[in-house]
């Protein structure tokens, strides 16, 4: 025993006089945790391992890069959210594209089931070009909807031009319906003009235009 009450460590001579392993003292050493970084390596012909190239190491990091890209996209979306009106207009274009796509597909698979006039309210004479025009305009409608959600300024201008063209195309039919007193045609034509005017007016507003960003390389 030491003077402070602690047991004294046995000397080397005392340890040597102890019996065999069953009675010898065991000294425990506390291990320290370590971080081990694994570096992918490729095997050489001589049985050794050569360090991986930068391209090979980069291919192992694609999950982290993908998550970083998603985080940047979410940050940009939160910093510049899509206005509710733009979402509604994008949904309108998407619905028109889905309608034209379904009609064009049915006309392609079963000719004669749906008349060409089914696309007249949206195509204004282009439906006479055939079923492929339905599918082409369906792709255009889907592309405009996607571009509006992405806040692409070029797509915004295209949507405004499409709305204005629709207004111009509807004016003669509305005028004819008014002269010939056709309430149904007048109601549908007038509603189409009102919707298109609202789309063109909303997308042309300054505060809405400021929310759109130009694609890379155009500024």
Q: Give the mean pLDDT of 163-171.
A: 91
pLDDT digits (tens, 9 = 90+) for 10-42: 565 555 555 554 555 555 556 555 555 445 555
Task: Decide if 122 contacts 95 (C-beta within 8 A).
Answer: no
Do residues 117 and 75 share a domain? Answer: no
pLDDT digits (tens, 9 = 90+) for 74-88: 444 455 688 899 999
CB half-sphere exposure, 118, CA atoms < 13 A: 19
The two counts, helices (H) then strands (E), for the chain are 9, 2
Q: What is the pLDDT of residue 130?
A: 82
| 89 part of a folded domain | yes
Q: What is the pLDDT of residue 37?
A: 47
Q: Would the pLDDT of 200 be above 80?
A: yes
Do residues 155 and 126 share a domain? Answer: yes
pLDDT digits (tens, 9 = 90+) for 42-70: 554 555 545 555 555 455 555 555 554 54
| 60 part of a folded domain | yes
What single DSSP character describes residue 20?
S
Task: Decide if 2 contacts 8 (C-beta within 8 A).
Answer: yes
| 69 part of a folded domain | yes
Do residues 146 and 65 share a domain? Answer: no
Do residues 100 and 176 share a domain? Answer: yes
User: What range defines the domain where residue 144 resides?
Assistant: 81-209
Q: What is the pLDDT of residue 127?
A: 82
Do residues 138 and 166 share a domain? Answer: yes
Q: Give the mean pLDDT of 163-168.
A: 92
Choosing from 39, 62, 80, the residue where a domain stops is 80
d(CA 163, CA 122): 11
135 versus 216: the higher-pLDDT residue is 135
Task: Decide if 189 contacts 179 (C-beta within 8 A).
Answer: no
Do residues 55 and 126 share a domain? Answer: no
Do residues 196 and 169 share a domain? Answer: yes
Q: What is the CA radius of gyration of the chain?
A: 37
Q: Would the pLDDT of 90 be above 70?
A: yes
Do residues 144 and 57 share a domain? Answer: no
| 120 part of a folded domain | yes
d(CA 66, CA 60): 11
pLDDT digits (tens, 9 = 90+) for 107-123: 989 888 888 888 888 88
Choosing from 63, 80, 97, the residue where a domain stops is 80
For residue 165 the two structure tokens come to 């063209």
Q: How many domains, in total, are found in the chain?
A: 2
pLDDT digits (tens, 9 = 90+) for 123-162: 888 888 888 899 999 999 999 999 999 999 999 999 999 9
């Amino acid at each position: 025993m030491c003077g402070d009450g602690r047991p004294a460590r046995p000397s080397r001579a005392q340890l040597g006089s102890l019996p065999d392993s069953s009675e010898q003292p065991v000294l425990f050493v506390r291990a320290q945790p370590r971080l081990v970084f694994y570096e992918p390596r490729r095997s050489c012909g001589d049985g050794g391992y050569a360090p991986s190239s930068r391209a090979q190491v980069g291919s192992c990091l694609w999950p982290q890069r993908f998550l970083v890209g998603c985080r940047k996209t979410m940050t940009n979306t939160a910093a510049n959210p899509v206005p509710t009106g733009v979402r509604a207009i994008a949904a309108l274009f998407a619905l028109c594209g889905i309608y034209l796509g379904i009609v064009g597909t049915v006309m392609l698979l079963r000719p004669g089931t749906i008349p060409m006039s089914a696309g007249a309210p949206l195509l204004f004479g282009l439906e006479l070009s055939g079923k492929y025009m339905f599918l082409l305009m369906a792709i255009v409608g889907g592309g405009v909807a996607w571009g509006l959600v992405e806040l692409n300024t070029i797509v915004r201008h295209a949507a405004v031009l499409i709305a204005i063209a629709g207004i111009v195309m509807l004016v003669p039919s509305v005028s004819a319906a008014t002269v010939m007193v056709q309430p149904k045609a007048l109601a549908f034509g007038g509603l189409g003009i009102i919707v298109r005017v609202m789309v063109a007016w909303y997308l042309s507003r300054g505060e809405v235009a400021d929310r759109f960003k130009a694609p890379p390389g155009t500024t």
